[in-house]
Amino acid sequence: MRDVAIIGASTTQFGRAQWSLLKLMAEAAHGAITNADLGGRKIDAVYVANMGSARNNRQAGIASALVDRMNLYPAAADTVENGPASGASAVKNGFLAVASGMCDLVLVAGGERMREVNNIEATEFVSFLSHRYAEYIYGITLPALAGMFARLWMNKYGVTSEHLAMVAIKNHSNAMLNPNAHIKMPITMEGILHSPDAEMNNPYIAEPLRFFDCCPVSDGAAAVLLAPAEMAGEFTKKPVIISGFGQATDTQAVHERPDPTVLTAVQIAARKAFDMAGLKPRDISLAELHDAFTILEIAQSEQVGFFPEGTGHIALEKGETQIAGKLPINTSGGLKAKGHPVGATGVSQIVELVFQLRGEAGKRQVKNPKHGFALNFGGFGNNVVATILTKGA
Amino acid sequence: MEHTVNAAKCMKCGKITYPTHFYCPACGSTDFGAVAVEGEGTLLTFTRAYTLPLDYEDLYLTLGIVEMDQGIRATGQLDIDEPATGIRVLASVGPVRDVDGRTVYGLKFRAV
Ligand SMILES: [Zn+2]
């Protein structure tokens, strides 16, 4: 197996897009391609991460459509759909194509245009991820699953609404430093929880989760360009190595898990990624976690191995996960504030780690990072991909 | 017409699973019989969800996960004004959603 490097990375502005889905993905892909110096070399294969183009944007076969829109024929093209973890799954497939020796230059682009439909349609479309007969028919949504999970977690570990708000406040504040983030709005504990207007500013979405505990509905795209590590020096001065990945699945119906607070697929995916990279959680300089709901950042920060069980909220309270802290989490603003265009998310987490490892993260730059960790969480944790990136020599 | 929600009972080892899987999680058998999800249980967790998918006109839905005395867990709608974790509930089957103009029946729980 060959080592694989990321030689180009790019993202569009997240938010409400004026462009079509294909134009969004083409702009991100063009950014990643021109980020490297390809010297006229052609791209061998394209992997596209997307969940809803056929339903929301009237475009099926999105990978073939992107190759056509860009004019990258005759590159091989495949769409990768793994719900909200489509992005990391697509990067994984690109990695395998290069590592196996089958391809040299592989483009991975993730994108979603969710705001082409209204919010109810978007909620409905994402709720298709739940179990059709044991969850969906009851009106279960992803926020509802997260609410039931949050209640269990908060009761078990003494996590409060203030802790959840701390995640939102931190990630909103990080997003203020990220020009491509969807939400650029500073929030305070007073404003979202304690002021007389808090009830109105921050209503319940799925108790105990409130509006500011949930990610927005976003449009956006992100892309990376992969090459064999041994050739990376021809294309870029700052290669970033994909040093580990791991993936695991779990029951689709959340109620069927022996302990619904234990995210087994998160634990297994992370362990596999650390084993492959030959690293321990303490070696990681920064992480992008899948904070579609604030409670998930706390839960994942423990279950991937950064903090002991029941102490994620304490590390958060102490500021350890802030940009200047011991382990910065979601420097990009996370799904919470950078935004969550479903197919783009996993790729954009990796793009943020690339920017950080190259020292190009501007005002949110972490000091001298060496290894970055990303967790992309599909469904409600029934298909999870962990990726570790390492700064190239 | 009487509606039921069925779990699967493994004909080889007796394990009940809900929802059903092709292979028994305990013994790998593919031979199952239907057994109704019914009776009492204990409320494990719940939420009042205000952002609802298509086809609901309600202001909110109360949804929960129940640990059934049958030894399985089930997700369903709660007809309970003030739910609390740990309370005892009773399962029944009733209309839970309209999908494409058709009424879908499923589990509804009330306090006992
Ligand atoms: Zn069996």
Tell me what pLDDT residue B89 has. 98
**Residue A212 with chain B: CB contacts under 8 Å:** none
Contact B96 A149 (CB under 8 A): no
Tell me what pLDDT residue B51 has. 87
Per-residue pLDDT tens digits of chain A, which is 393 residues long: 999 999 999 999 999 999 999 999 999 999 999 999 999 999 999 999 999 999 999 999 999 999 999 999 999 999 999 999 999 999 999 999 999 999 999 999 999 999 988 888 888 889 999 999 999 999 999 999 999 999 999 999 999 999 999 999 999 999 999 999 999 999 999 999 999 999 899 999 999 999 999 999 999 999 999 999 999 999 999 999 999 999 999 999 999 999 999 999 999 999 999 999 999 999 999 999 999 999 999 999 999 999 999 999 999 999 999 999 999 999 999 999 999 999 999 999 999 999 999 999 999 999 999 999 999 999 999 999 999 999 997
Chain B positions touching chain A (beta carbons under 8 Å): 17-19, 44-54, 56, 61, 63-65, 73-77, 85, 96-97, 99, 104, 106-107
Q: Band of the pLDDT at B99, cuts 50, 70, 90? A: confident
Residue of A nearest to B72 (CA): A256
Which one of B51, B72, B85 makes the best mutation probe of the A interface by having the most chain A beta carbons within 10 Å? Answer: B51
Tell me what pLDDT residue B73 has. 98
**Residue B49 with chain A: CB contacts under 8 Å:** 139, 141, 143-144, 147, 205-207
Tell me what pLDDT residue B1 has. 60
Domain boundaries, chain A: 4-118+219-234
CA of B32 to the centre of ligand 1 (A): 8
**Residue B50 with chain A: CB contacts under 8 Å:** 203-206
CB A345 within 8 A of CB A182: no
**CATH 3.90.550.10 assigned to A4-118+219-234:** no
Tell me what pLDDT residue A121 has. 87
Of B46, B63, B75, nearest to A134 by CB-CB distance is: B75
Tell me what pLDDT residue B101 has. 86
Tell me what pLDDT residue A393 has. 75
Give the mean pLDDT of chain B.
Answer: 95
Tell me what pLDDT residue A157 has. 98
CB A38 within 8 A of CB A105: yes
pLDDT in tens, A5-50: 999 999 999 999 999 999 999 999 999 999 999 999 999 999 999 9
Provide the shortest C-alpha distance from residue A145 to chain B (in Å): 8
**Residue B91 with chain A: CB contacts under 8 Å:** none
Residue of B nearest to A208 (CA): B47
CA of A256 to the centre of ligand 1 (A): 16
Provide the shortest C-alpha distance from residue B17 to chain A (in Å): 8
Tell me what pLDDT residue A364 has. 98
CA of B34 to the centre of ligand 1 (A): 13
Residue of A nearest to B96 (CA): A138
**Residue A207 with chain B: CB contacts under 8 Å:** 47-49
Residue of A nearest to B66 (CA): A255
Residue type, A84: P
pLDDT in tens, B37-85: 999 999 999 999 998 887 788 889 999 999 999 999 999 999 999 999 9
**Residue B106 with chain A: CB contacts under 8 Å:** 137-138
